[in-house]
């Protein structure tokens, strides 16, 4: 069995500054479902930060880095989904899904957490 993991932490205030300086940031990084979920919260920024951290952790777990062929839509291709019970999950599409198939990954888990100042995410991918 192969195990791939990634972790990332985001300072919520820094992410908030990026939002105010780059009006297209949310559209470029987050899927419609992610934006809708985060914007439904009283303070959306901890939720955006946790999802951003999960996308970064997913990229780290896949071992693809932030440069190279196919990277253009990577943040949109890694989506944080929620089960009916509210448990977060990871959905891969496009290039990221292709990389996961190439590595024989058949299980994905994600854990999100945030406090007043930071959001953190851990992604674990397992395969044969």
Q: Is residue 60 annotated as part of the catalytic site, yes or no?
A: yes
pTM for this predicted structure: 0.93
* Tally of CB atoms within 10 A around 57: 25
Q: Is residue 32 annotated as part of the catalytic site, yes or no?
A: no
Tell me which residue of 39, 55, 48, 38 sits closest to 12, measured CA to CA. Answer: 48
Point out the catalytic residue in the list 42, 47, 55, 60. 60
Q: What is the pLDDT along the chain (128 residues), one digit of tens a residue?
A: 999 999 999 999 999 999 999 989 999 999 999 999 999 999 999 999 999 999 999 999 999 876 555 556 789 999 999 999 999 999 999 989 999 999 999 999 999 999 999 999 999 999 98
Q: Three-class SS of residue 73?
A: helix
Domains of the chain, residue spans: 2-127
Point out the catalytic residue in the list 14, 32, 98, 114. 114
The answer regarding whether domain 2-127 maps to CATH 3.90.470.20 reads: yes
Interatomic CA distance for residues 61 and 124, integer angstroms = 7
Enumerate the H helices of 1-128 as residue ranges: 12-21, 25-29, 32-39, 45-62, 74-77, 94-102
């Amino acid at each position: 069995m192969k195990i791939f993991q990634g972790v990332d932490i985001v300072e919520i205030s820094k992410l908030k500054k990026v939002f105010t300086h780059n009006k297209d940031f949310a559209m470029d990084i987050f899927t419609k479902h992610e934006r809708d979920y985060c914007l439904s919260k009283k303070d959306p920024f901890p939720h955006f930060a946790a999802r951003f951290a999960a996308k970064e952790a997913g990229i780290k777990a896949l071992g693809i880095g932030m440069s190279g062929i196919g990277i253009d839509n990577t943040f949109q291709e890694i989506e944080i989904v929620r089960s009916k019970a509210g448990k977060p999950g990871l959905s891969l599409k496009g290039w990221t899904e292709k990389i996961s198939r190439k590595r024989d990954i058949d299980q994905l888990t994600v854990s999100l957490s945030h406090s007043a100042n930071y959001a953190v995410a851990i992604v674990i991918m397992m395969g044969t």
